Structure 1
Amino acid sequence: METSKAFSMVQPSHNPSTSAQPGPMPPPPGIAATPRLSLRTPLALNDHPNRPHQFRAGGHPALLLLHGTGGSEGDLLPLAARVSPSSCRLAPRGTAALGGPPCFLRRQAVGLFDLRDLHRRTRELAGFVEWASGSYQMPAEKWVAIGYANGAAMAASLLLSGFPLAGAVLLRPIIPFRPETLPDLSRIPVLMIHAQKDPYSPEAQVAELSYNLQQMGALVQCEEVPPGHSIGPADTELIEEWLLHWFPGPV
């Protein structure tokens, strides 16, 4: 079956009226800076097709489902079925490990990732999605990522690395890194949902990530739900409304 061609990082536009400008940017006042990472190699890295995953054929929007730490590829399928029943779904398993449980990105501490590992894991997942896009005949740029916790950090890493997502839902996110070269995310919709008093998704981290994405041109909607790290009914309702607004029908 024909597969899509390899892609490279999206480079920032030089038109100041349409995109964010290249170079590092400071965090908003009162928010500590996170580590910077420069991705100087092509983003896609071959990830063999034997990575455990589940796929369901369907229509648009095509959903890329990224589970949290200790989860599996099936965790977000029920959520996807509720918020967009007819959508195509691709749910890969994270290949990093924290003492055993699967995850997408390896942490050194809460809110701090191993940047060398993050670079590699992001490239591997990008390569896997590229492979799956060709194998399942779904253009790579049509995927809307829905990531939870560690999976939300991976979805954010894909965005910050220039992976051509159509949009992203980040549930209980933190910022994975601050890129030295800013991708152009002009008009890419992003929904961020954090919970009150969530120690794993601190408000300052959410604010910094929202700030960074907006500086790159993304259309960010940031919502707060009642306390609790788990996904609840309020999340489901917000995601469903957001998908209907930005992806109302076949594209």
Structure 2
Amino acid sequence: MTDYIFKAGNPLLAPILLLHSTGGDEHQLLPIAERIAPGHPVLSIRGRVNDNGINRYFKLRHAGGFTQDNFDLDSLALESQWLADEILALAEKYSLDATKFIALGYSNGANIALYMTLKGIFNFDKVIALHGMQLTEINHPVSTDNKRIFLTYAPNDPIVSERNFNALIQNLETASCQNEIFKCTYGHQLTEEELVAAKKWLEIY
């Protein structure tokens, strides 16, 4: 059974897909969605991987350690397809236009949204990736036809290294994404300044 929340909004506005961080759930980003995209329909889906009470969208090989060599890539592929299928099923259930979804993800949720975009697993209209990272190098990213991506990054982030983030941007550029990067100053945590920037970006595009 999928754990999720759907909040109906203005049907003329694009639906927002919320993807929580490690340890979060379907409630975590609801206040953020209201800040960034008030009035939009919202679909928030909990990752189905649970490790001793910690929710994730895909498994780690070993406890702790958010590094590329510790991500379970088989789980990542499996759970990405599961998530894509759930989005489509719930979009049909609630009469949402699946081609207009704006993914709003934080950390673990941002990671899987970016991976799904680069692999062509789901065609989000736009992606807001708060403190996302490259999960694995993608040698041949799927062309996205100039899809717009908003990313936040902090040089002092203890999880997302500068090298990793630069590799992610290179992958996105190879996929013809139009990236806007907002640099933060408070590590891996969400800040008021990046939420304001994300809202302004969404109002423009």
Amino acid at match of 1:100: G
Identify the structure with bigger relative contact order (alpha carbons < 8 Å, sequence gap 6+). 1
Query: Is it true that 1:70 corresponds to 2:23 in the alignment?
Result: yes
Q: CA deviation at 1:111?
A: 2.1
Runs of 4+, deviation exceeding 6 Å: none
In the TM superposition, residue 180 of structure 1 has moved relative to its aligned partner by: 4.4
Distance 1:146 1:111 in 2: 22
Aligned residue type for 1:57: A
User: Which consecutive unaligned segments of at least 5 residues does structure 1 have?
Assistant: 1-49, 247-251
Contact 2:141 2:171 in 1 (8 A): no
Identity of aligned residues (%): 26
Structure 2 residue aligned with 1:105: 58
- For the pair 1:56 / 2:15, whether they are aligned, the reply is no
Instruction: Classify the secondary structure of the residue corresponding to 1:153.
Output: helix
- Where do residues 126-205 of structure 1 align in structure 2 (5 Å cutoff)? 126-162=84-120, 163-205=122-164
In the TM superposition, residue 99 of structure 1 has moved relative to its aligned partner by 3.5
Counterpart amino acid of residue 170 in structure 2 = Y
Counterpart selection for 1:226 from 185, 194, 197: 185
Q: Distance in 2 between matches of 1:131 and 1:178?
A: 29
Give the whole-Å Cα distance in 1 for the aligned partners of 2:134 and 2:2.
25
The alpha carbon displacement at 1:201 in A equals 1.5
Q: 1:214-246, CA deviations, whole angstroms, 9 ceiling, x for partnerless residues?
A: 111110111111123221101111110110011
CA contact (8 A) 1:149 1:173 kept: yes
Gaps of 5+ in 2: none
Contact 2:138–2:171 (CA under 8 A) maintained in structure 1: no
Total equivalences in the alignment:
197
Q: Is the 8 A contact 2:56 2:108 kept in 1?
A: yes
TM-superposed deviation, 1:210:
1.0
* One-letter code aligned to 1:212: N
Secondary structure, counterpart of 1:107 in structure 2: coil
Q: CA deviation at 1:64?
A: 0.5
The whole-number CA distance in structure 1 between the counterparts of 2:88 and 2:139 is 24
Separation of aligned partners in 2, 1:111 and 1:152: 15
Structure with max Cα Rg = 1
- Give distance in 1, aligned partners of 2:163 and 2:9: 37
Q: TM-score, normalised by structure 2?
A: 0.91
1 CA distance for matches of 2:139 and 2:173?
16
Which structure carries more helix by proportion? 2
Aligned-pair distance for 1:178? Answer: 2.7
Residues 57-109 of structure 1, C-alpha deviations (whole Å, 9 max, x = no match): 12323111000011110100000001111111110001113333011122233
Task: Decide whether the 8 Å contact of 1:65 with 1:90 is kept in 2.
Answer: yes
Q: Which amino acid aligns with 2:179?
A: V
TM-score (norm 1): 0.75
Determine helix, strand or coil for the equivalent of 1:145.
strand
Checking the alignment, whether the CA contact within 8 Å between 2:182 and 2:194 is kept in structure 1 is no
CA distance, structure 1, for counterparts of residue 151 and residue 87 of structure 2: 22
Residue 206 of structure 1, CA deviation: 1.3
